[in-house]
Amino acid sequence: PQTVLAAKPTTPIHNGGLTPLWIGVVGFAARTVWGDALMAETYYPMYGDSAAVYASIAAGGFPLASLFAACVFAASVATLAGMVMIMATNITRDMVHNAFPEASPRKLLLLTKLMLVPFIAIPLYWTFTSPPPILSEFMSGSAVAQAGIFFFVVGVSMYWKRATKWGATATIIYGLIITVLHPKAYGPSVGLYHWGCWALLLMFGSALTYFLVSLITTPVSEEKLQRMFPKK
């Protein structure tokens, strides 16, 4: 039987696009049914964020809505746990270890555990003290920052050999500056009022900064790359 199964042709199935497709379908369905009604004061404080909840209730009643709420809670907790670990590790590995390469792994691990406390306390404080609209703005802004900063600094740098540390650093600095110029923060002082313009300025500006600075600066030598990432 194993020989027969091994000889049988198989077709690979790629499910990578199902999640964004499903999100788009739910959004379009809610927009078709409710239009802009979800932006009325009746739906305060959730407004448009309640589209997925009402779509779940319409599709499967309160049982499906309860399952949706449980899944969202589980996904948010898992995402927060992953982000907290990444941020704490970035501090110890990318900053402390590079500044003090002689630091022992045990001390770095202890520092990572200590850094978990503020990275957990800060979002917890936001959750208890900020109303949902503020959290929605915060999360939507973080999504834009990930698309503009994280995508290039981490994602593209893993595959583009011409990337330099100066390009990544300049992208981070640019992204932080534009983040401060959010329309709900200091953006109006420089004439930046529209959220969409701010998002496009952050994403495309980060891309331009990343590639331009990387191309005009010297990349890491091949010898140093071999020492940092030895071939097994």
Position 5 scores a pLDDT of: 45
State the pLDDT confidence band at 135, using cuts at 50, 70 and 90.
low
State the pLDDT confidence band at 60, using cuts at 50, 70 and 90.
confident
- Residue 85 is inside which H or E element, if any? helix 51-89
Only one residue has tokens 């199964």, namely 5
Give the integer Cα–Cα distance in Å for 66 and 1.
Answer: 43
| Contact (CB, 8 A) for 190 and 181 | yes
Q: Which of 47-61, 133-147, 208-222 has the lowest mean pLDDT?
A: 133-147
Task: Quote the tokens at residue 78.
Answer: 């898992």
Mean pLDDT of 197-226: 88
Give the integer Cα–Cα distance in Å for 122 and 87.
Answer: 12
Rg (C-alpha) for the chain, rounded Å, is 23
Q: Where are the alpha helices (DSSP H) in 181-221?
A: 195-216
Mean pLDDT of 91-116: 86
Position 207 scores a pLDDT of: 93
Mean pLDDT of 211-220: 90
Position 206 scores a pLDDT of: 93
- Residue 39 is inside which H or E element, if any? none
- Judge if pTM exceeds 0.75: no
Question: Residue 186 half-sphere exposure, CB side, CA atoms within 13 Å?
Answer: 6
Give the integer Cα–Cα distance in Å for 194 and 133.
Answer: 17
Give the integer Cα–Cα distance in Å for 222 and 207.
Answer: 25
Position 209 scores a pLDDT of: 95
Q: Which of 86-100, 154-168, 218-232 has the lowest mean pLDDT?
A: 218-232
Task: Select, from the ranges 41-45, 135-139, 180-184, the one with the highest average predicted confidence (pLDDT).
Answer: 180-184
